[in-house]
Chains A and B, each alone.
Chain A
Amino acid sequence: MSPPAAESYLSDGRTLWSWLTTHDHKRIGVMFLVLTLFFFFLGGLFALALRIELLTPGRTVMGHLAYNRMFTLHGVTMVWLFMIPAIPSAFGNFLVPLMIGARDVAFPRLNLASVYLYVLGASVALWGMFEGGADTGWTFYTPYSTTTGTAVLPVLVGVFIIGFSTIVTGLNFIATVHTLRAPGLTWMKLPLFVWAIYGTSIIQVLATPVLGMVLALVALERVVGAGIFDPARGGDPLLFQHLFWFYSHPAVYIMVLPSMGVISEAVSAFSRKNAFSYRMIVYSTLGIAFVGFFTWGHHMFASGQSTFGSGAFGAMSMLVAIFTAIKIFSWLGTLYRGSIAIESPLLYTLGFMFFLFFGGMIGVAYATTSLNLHWHDTYSVVAHFHFIMVGATVMAFLAALHYWFPKMFGRCFPAKLANGAAVLIIFGFIATFVPQFLLGNLGMPRRYADYPPHFQSLHVASTAGASLLAFGFLAIAGYLAWSLRHGALAGDNPWGSEGFEWRSASPPPTHNFSTPPQYPTGPHEYSREEVPHAA
């Protein structure tokens, strides 16, 4: 029960300069946390503006052009500035070296560079927003993106730069996990969060260059009329979609795999149990990282690609779903015969499992080729990917924020308030996105500034849910900010977790460990007394 000691990473140099020039992975993680939270807030404001516009058919608060720019900004901000860096860059940076018993990541300077690349890319994209903003959607489909008169170029360049931040972070984690594991920490003793970050990093390093390339091609087409995607110059508009989804489908797993890692940690910690099937969680992580590259064509069933091609992509998409199903079963199995403490991180975990299950099953339904012809590009798809991205990734992000808050800052937060906010968020989420599934069934296409009146009642329900969500997020921001200074001191391991990261002090000292940690057992082991599952 040591107070936040003078030697913690937080107190090792208190000037702004000491933060801006730091090589400490923990400080870099905290910087990413602050930056991504800021962009999450910004993207959330855009989302609320969209929901208010959709409250009534016809013009409510903004015109068509403003709406089209708004949903583009919402998508770009949430996907590239929040969702992709949130868990790997913030929590991954903070936790991976602690979990594997290392003093830092493999390339600390490169790690600092990734912060600056992210800030530079975000600034360029934001500058584009002030220039009026792109109106293409975050997918930049050609030929619209190469012909529209809005400020597409700064957004393309900004995202291009952010891509390098992602690649650098991924490379750093791969090198770190391969070379800096403490003696005795074999691959099959790695914590599941580290496995998840490792799998994510592989996707980041392999897929992100394709995004950079395709964005550069769109920029080239806009600036000099290269004719790569323009049919009037001999190009192919569908080529863009193939290249874009070759990145962006795996990118979904860049967002979801780290979340799954958080959940694996939280389920074990709060049920005080070993993982029900560690092996299957590890293999399914690698399986998702691999098969995720072969499913991009399921975004294009209606585009005019060949019928057989659609079938092949549909079948591959079924395989990727299996890996997710395995994980859900294993998490449920982990609860079995545990000692379950219902704390806010576990509430978010339960929300996560529910949303991932529903979002995932509906995702499989979309991969069913004939049904996709109705659901494709409707609000049903909007609801589906918000279930996966908000329902799963944001839930896991909040679970991670609450679970590791004491680790990062050495303080506790008011538990009852946190549980209340978690319940509010889960119900707000259901109220926001379940109506959107029904809207999609009814045939409401996405990206509509205006709609026929018979869709209105469901839109009202969805906007009401979104305001509940907003209150929930504000509450969290309030009590966490308060707890930073006034929360009760947490001690080194307030949850009684066996996660390897809790073997250092909370908050950790600058070089993580005063004595080298030992790894006699695998991760998440709470009891050596082995019993058959059915006992």
Chain B
Amino acid sequence: MNELLRRLFFLPEQGSTFAVEVDHLHYFLLLTTLAVAVGIGAVGISFLVRYHRRSASDPTPRVVAPGWMEGLFIGVPLSLFLLWFVLGFKQFVWVMSPPQESLDVYVTGKQWMWKFTYPGGPSAIDTLVVPAGRPVRLLITSRDVIHSFYVPDFRMKRDAVPGRYTDLWFEAPKPGRHGVLCAEYCGLDHSVMRGEVVVLSPADFGAWQDAQRRNLPVAALPGARTPESMAVRGEHVATAQGCLQCHTVTGAPHIGPTWLGLYGRMEPLEGGGAVLADEAYLTESMMDPLAKVVAGYAPVMPGYHGRLSAEDSGALVEFIKSLRPLRPGTPAAEEPVYVPTGR
């Protein structure tokens, strides 16, 4: 039944757990629409036939809708629409809430390519390799204009906006290949900005990671430059940009809040309220530090818009995420590690 309806409505292959769920709503909604359309069309056509004008002077009665019928006209579609809304919003909240144990991958859109960076190691252009049966969270940003990361087989897309991170998570249940398209118009070669998600079985994914590790010849050579993980690069960025003049990594408060254990903490805000220090908040604080100032600190930090590239801000976030306190807490997101990071 699923397969028949999927083909009938020209929907592509179901490549994610979300696609299976959302397609049921697709069918429900398209079939209800068609059923109502057939009903209304039948009524309309029967009126056309039955009340066809026969002579130029046909008398017509004055007919006015009674109140209960008007109520029905409002109530029936409204309850149908609200049912769709409730079912859809439940799925939407689910797909907007990445699970804790997700594998994180950074995605940068650039005219006209997709760059995928694994927190522990190398990056790839236009091909994203992920394991099957495991949630993957993509942290998406752009280096120039707005793009949109779209995988039709996963039934989802998310805009890549310069200056901020958006996220998207999916779980691909079985190995396969799925096309990536750019869905937000981004200029000359918008239509050929394509990529691919390659889903491997967990065993193959492990083997792929090993191969990646082996294929990094520099790592094997003594004295060669060690390929940086994002966290290591973030540390260099923090030094170069002078972040560490105000923020400590040891837990000691200084001019700004310490970065130790900052990621994933609820921070109280100046002027009331609190905010979860996640990728979005950390990025916002780099770009627009005065938007949400942590309680007890002076609003003195300069903004880093235009001074931090998309890669650098991602690396900084990874560096902050790597600074975990030495106590049990919520497990942080796990990352594939290809080379020793030195920490």
Q: Tell me, yes or no, whether A338 is within 8 Å of chain B by CB.
A: yes
Query: Within 8 Å CB of B186, what residues of A?
Result: 144
Are B185 and A339 neighbours in the complex by a CB distance under 8 Å?
Answer: no
Contact A326 B36 (CB under 8 A): no
Chain A residues with Cβ below 8 Å from B25 are 368, 370-371
Check A21 for interface membership: any CB of B closer than 8 A.
Answer: no
C-alpha spacing A340/B33, complex, angstroms = 27
B188, A276: Cβ atoms under 8 Å? no
Q: B73 to A325, Cβ gap below 8 A?
A: yes
Contact A533 B64 (CB under 8 A): yes
In the assembled complex, the CB of A408 is this many whole angstroms from the nearest CB of chain B, namely 24
Cβ contact within 8 Å between B179 and A452: yes
CB distance from B137 to the nearest CB of A (A): 14
Asked whether A238 lies within 8 Å of B60 as measured between CB atoms, the reply is no
Q: Mark A389-405, 1 if CB is under 8 A from B, else 0.
A: 00000000000000000
A147 at the interface (CB under 8 A from B): yes
Q: How far is the CA of A376 from the CA of B159 in the complex (A)?
A: 11
Minimal beta-carbon separation of B255 from chain A (angstroms): 22
A68-B77 in contact (CB<8A)? no
Q: Which residue of A lies closest to B45 (CB)?
A: A350
Checking B70, B88, B158, B187 against A277 with a beta-carbon cut-off of 8 angstroms, the contacting residue is B70
- The interface bits of chain B over 70-93 (1 if a CB of A lies within 8 angstroms of the residue's CB, else 0) are 100110011001101101111111
Closest chain B residue to A328 by CB distance?
B40
- A339, B10: Cβ atoms under 8 Å? no
Q: Which residue of A lies closest to B189 (CB)?
A: A64
Q: Given the complex of chains A and B, what is the CA–CA distance between A301 and B183 in angstroms? A: 13
Q: How large is the interface on A (under 10, 10 to 19, 20 to 34, 35 or more residues)?
A: 35 or more
B189→A362 contact, CB < 8 A: no
A342 to B44 Cα, complex, angstroms: 13
**Assembled-state Cα–Cα distance A236/B162 (Å):** 9
- Asked whether, in the complex, the Cβ of A339 is within 8 Å of the Cβ of B53, the reply is yes
- What is the 8 Å Cβ interface bit string for chain B, positions 58-73, against chain A (1 contact, 0 not)? 1111111110011001
Q: Does B321 sit at the interface, judged by CB under 8 A? A: no
Contact of A204 with B by CB under 8 A: no
Comparing B143-151, B201-209, B231-239, B263-271, the segment that makes contact with chain A is: B143-151
Contact B77 A337 (CB under 8 A): no
Check B295 for interface membership: any CB of A closer than 8 A: no
How many chain B residues touch A (CB < 8 A): the figure is 89
Instruction: Judge whether B48 and A527 touch: CB under 8 Å.
Output: no
Q: Complex formed: what's the CA distance from A374 to B21 in Å?
A: 12
Contact of B92 among A232, A307, A362, A450 (CB under 8 A): A307
Asked, given contacts A64-B191, A307-B96, A340-B51, whether A369 binds B41 with beta carbons under 8 Å apart, the answer is no
Closest chain A residue to B43 by CB distance?
A332
Evaluate contact between B288 and A234: CB separation under 8 angstroms. Answer: yes
A34, CB-defined interface residue at 8 Å: no
Given A307-B96, A364-B81, A527-B61 in contact, is the A377-B192 Cβ separation under 8 Å?
no
Which A residues are CB-close (under 8 A) to B21? 370
Q: In the bound complex, what is the Cα–Cα distance between A340 and B50 (angstroms)?
A: 9
B305 A233 Cβ-Cβ under 8 A: yes
Interface assignment of B257: CB less than 8 Å from any CB of chain A: no
- The answer for the CA separation of A449 and B190 in the assembled complex, in Å, is 8
Which of A302, A373, A450 lies in contact with B192, CB distance below 8 A?
A450
Beyond A144-B146, A273-B60, A339-B59, 19 additional pairs, beta carbon < 8 A: A137-B185, A143-B145, A144-B145, A147-B145, A237-B146, A273-B63, A276-B65, A318-B78, A330-B65, A339-B51, A357-B37, A362-B33, A370-B89, A373-B92, A445-B182, A449-B191, A450-B192, A531-B62, A532-B66
Query: Mind listing 11 A-B residue pairs with CB under 8 Å?
Result: A64-B190, A141-B145, A141-B185, A328-B40, A333-B65, A369-B88, A370-B90, A374-B155, A377-B183, A445-B191, A533-B69
B residues with CB within 8 A of A: 9-12, 21-22, 25-26, 29-30, 33, 36-37, 40-41, 43-44, 47-48, 51-54, 56, 58-66, 69-70, 73-74, 77-78, 81-82, 84-85, 87-93, 95-97, 144-146, 148, 150, 152-153, 155-159, 161-164, 166, 179, 181-192, 194, 287-288, 303, 305-306
